[in-house]
Structure 1
């Protein structure tokens, strides 16, 4: 069976999320970070309920089947009426001293009877080694989760008598989809990143406290992003997870036109969507949406899920 989807990853910051780009798909799944607690209040960031109600109003033809949250993170899973998806258990992991702001939410969803784990995560912003360790912790935990018996029955069509004497079986889900703020940075320095941008003629960076200004580009934006991707921390994926498309859009973090090149902090593709090999997709489109306000831009993957 083929089910169309739109997955949206967005670190809200203090921004009202103008998610008007949501499309008519069977599944619309949204993972957010920094939408409460750790940031100043705004229209929706001060209340996850306000954000949720706003989305429900935007999607009248959908059921919200799960909306797990943990501190500053929230996941929302909207399913079009008539599409067979049910929510299973949810698991949460807090990561170190950044508990209010960093962690992972793992939601089991059964899509047409096939169990999948959807992971919303927010990793450390300063240390590549710590990010790697945190990702290992989240994925190791996800790999250890035992699927509920009724969900195993749905996905494997085994006879129910197999599970009469056990509340859980040691059967694990190998279909993982992770989208979150993985805080992946460029391996070059802040100044080197700025120089790459300047040398390409894409932006003129004269003052770290001034907005980026477009110069006369001597090469295409796609070429400069390809150059920057050579320095991308996650060029080879996130541990065993891979992206379905080559990134051909601008870094989603700290490279917003008309905004400040904040403290010459390095831009990066922080907002990502990864899959395990066992998840089958078709006709995927990976892109960024230029929504002003946050120092992050939403990243979207659209396509078809084969289950």
Structure 2
């Protein structure tokens, strides 16, 4: 049952000089770190987009938890997505794929998404880090940007979408994190007199999720993380909003389980466009040492459960970071990982 800690943070063109140990607090199986406006502003990143200081800071904090290896990273303009795993899990990872998608006007990279996908024990997982267009009145622009993301993603991954299926449904779990820039639909003055539930009901993200069949990894129970001042309060210029989120698009494609134990199956891999070989155990009571072969999946019911979803108070940007901790059940450790084969 792998544990994953996901972190998203818009850093406002800097590397905040503040304590971030709360972001790197335990020895999780995976760390997924997506940042926007990292170390440089969007404009400056067109000419100088070094993220050396942030990489050094991440390496320092993550190494304190234990030995980790970099699974993959994807970088574009001021965005960066890094995925680390325990060194003991490296042999169970295959088909790592890096992707960059531009969504800005005139196809510029000022807005977009960077992605890393891979197979863990033969199970395809996707992680994408977003930065969409800002401002309350440009909700429809953000909708169009996400539609373009799905179109470009499907085209580059050679995914031929079936009717009534989500373009990301080929992945057993697809995590979408970042600054989606969704706002609360009321004035700054009105927001001060509304309850938490009333403000959450006016969140533009509600319609956005319904439109694209997405959801937060868990219900939002934390206060809005944007727009903050240096004293830890909200500015008087913007309506406090949940702009930074961690979303998930669950797969609705299941592998058929054969009635007989140890029947060799082939599962199509959307990452490398080939087929995984693995064997399926009929139930969870089968001991792993009784099985022989390549990669094992002991259940078709692979599920995600969020154990934490919050926004810690870390003053260093006008955005608060958002972190989520999830556990995925139904993935069994393989005895021997076999790469995809035709």
Fold shared per TM-score above 0.5: yes
Gaps of 5+ in 1: 149-170, 197-223
Match of 1:138 in 2: 149
Gaps of 5+ in 2: 160-168, 252-301, 332-342
Match of 1:218 in 2: none
The answer as to 2:129 corresponding to 1:123 is: no
Instruction: Tell me the alpha carbon deviations over residues 149-175 of structure 1, each in whole angstroms, 9 at most, x when there is no partner.
Output: xxxxxxxxxxxxxxxxxxxxxx95463
Match of 1:79 in 2: 85
* 1:263 to partner: Cα distance: 4.6
How well do the aligned residues superpose, as a CA RMSD in angstroms? 2.7
Match of 1:6 in 2: 5
**Cα pair 1:7 1:28 within 8 Å, conserved:** yes
* 1:256 to partner: Cα distance: 5.8
Matches within 5 A, 1:269-284: 269-278=242-251, 280-284=303-307
Match of 2:186 in 1: 188
The answer as to 2:315 corresponding to 1:292 is: yes
Match of 2:327 in 1: 304
TM-score normalised by the chain length of structure 1:
0.74
* 1:107 to partner: Cα distance: 1.6
Secondary structure of the residue aligned to 2:221 is coil
Change in Cα spacing, 1:173 to 1:282, as seen in structure 2 (3 Å) is closer
Q: Distance in 1 between matches of 2:144 and 2:19?
A: 33
Moved beyond 4 Å, runs of 4+ = none
TM-score normalised by the chain length of structure 2:
0.67
Instruction: Tell me the alpha carbon deviations over residues 119-175 of structure 1, each in whole angstroms, 9 at most, x when there is no partner.
Output: 111000020000111112113333445379xxxxxxxxxxxxxxxxxxxxxx95463
Match of 1:229 in 2: 200
Matches within 5 A, 1:1-307: 2-13=1-12, 14-16=14-16, 18-21=19-22, 22=24, 23-38=26-41, 47-60=50-63, 61-83=67-89, 84-86=92-94, 88-97=96-105, 99-126=108-135, 127-146=138-157, 172-173=170-171, 175-196=173-194, 224-236=195-207, 238=209, 239-255=212-228, 258-259=231-232, 261-278=234-251, 280-306=303-329, 307=331
Q: Distance in 2 between matches of 1:59 and 1:259?
A: 26
Instruction: Tell me the alpha carbon deviations over residues 59-116 of structure 1, each in whole angstroms, 9 at most, x when there is no partner.
Output: 2211112121001000010101112334622221112238343111122122222112
Q: State the number of aligned residues.
A: 254
Q: Distance in 2 between matches of 1:114 and 1:141?
A: 23
Change in Cα spacing, 1:18 to 1:144, as seen in structure 2 (3 Å) is farther
Q: Distance in 2 between matches of 1:68 and 1:46?
A: 13
The farther-off stretch of 66-75 and 17-26 is: 17-26
Match of 2:255 in 1: none
Q: Distance in 2 between matches of 1:234 and 1:72?
A: 23
Q: Distance in 2 between matches of 1:293 and 1:123?
A: 21
Match of 1:156 in 2: none
Instruction: Tell me the alpha carbon deviations over residues 220-263 of structure 1, each in whole angstroms, 9 at most, x when there is no partner.
Output: xxxx3222101101125531211121101001111468246435
**Cα pair 1:186 1:266 within 8 Å, conserved:** yes
Q: Distance in 1 between matches of 2:317 and 2:305?
A: 31
